[in-house]
Amino acid sequence: MPKTCFHVVLFKPEIPYNTGNIIRLCANIGAELHLIRPLGFEMTESRLRRAALDYRDLAIVTEYDGLDQYIEMFPERRLFATSSRAKTSYDEVEYREDDAFLFGPESVGLPDDLLSCFPENRILLVPMMPGSRSLNIANSVSVIAYEAWRQLNFQGRAEPQ
């Protein structure tokens, strides 16, 4: 398995299809996926397996009992939160290897008390048109992950044939 460039952290994910799509994304871009319990589904659910296709074995997926457990395991890792109310656009940041991106539950996003623990420049926004409420989490993960990977010159990518 190629070296991991960065990390996607899903805080209490609720929808198996979304997590399955994100597993597939992580396998394809060399990112590790970290799932913070409780999960809104079982990792064995057919909907999760169907969305992940056969990429589950190609992705590194780890579960944690809480966000504190993840942070304690990786205290040196830069962690960015995401929010539709953030002031820093995801494309205004210079990413580096081993950065981590935290995404909240699909129905409510990250709670305010958790967001308040982050400096303003570590809370990322994916811009949208006025009147829009939110993007699908798998789309938001893709937008930010591909920008970070682009900034790392698509480290580890397959070379065109």
Q: Is residue 62 part of a domain?
A: yes
Cα–Cα nearest to 12, from 111, 97, 89: 111
Q: Determine which helix (DSSP H) or strand (DSSP E) holds 81, and give its type and residue range.
A: strand 79-82
Q: Is residue 34 part of a domain?
A: yes
Mean pLDDT of 153-161: 87
Cα–Cα nearest to 103, from 70, 73, 131: 70
Is the pLDDT assigned to residue 1 strictly greater than 60? no
Please state, in angstroms and rounded to a whole number, the distance separating the CA atoms of residues 24 and 55: 5
* Per-residue pLDDT tens digits for 22-57: 999 999 999 999 999 999 988 887 877 777 777 888
* Confidence tier at 8 by pLDDT (50, 70, 90): very high
How open is the CA angle 152-153-159, to the nearest 5 degrees? 135
* Per-residue pLDDT tens digits for 66-108: 999 999 999 999 999 999 999 999 999 999 999 999 999 999 9
- The CATH code of the domain that includes 48 is 3.40.1280.10
Q: Is residue 81 part of a domain?
A: yes
Beta bridge partners of 62: 34
Total-model pTM: 0.94
Please state, in angstroms and rounded to a whole number, the distance separating the CA atoms of residues 106 and 83: 11
Overall residue count recorded for the chain in this entry: 161
Instruction: Please say whether the beta carbons of 28 and 154 come within 8 A.
Output: no
Give the domain range for residue 138.
7-151
Total domains, the chain: 1
Q: Is residue 158 part of a domain?
A: no
Do you find a cis peptide bond into 38, omega within 30 degrees of 0? yes
Instruction: Please say whether the beta carbons of 121 and 80 come within 8 A.
Output: no
Is the pLDDT assigned to residue 2 strictly greater than 60? no
For 45, the 3-state DSSP assignment is coil
Please state, for a pLDDT cut of 90, what percent of the chain lies above it.
80
Q: Is residue 23 part of a domain?
A: yes
Please state, in angstroms and rounded to a whole number, the distance separating the CA atoms of residues 131 and 76: 38
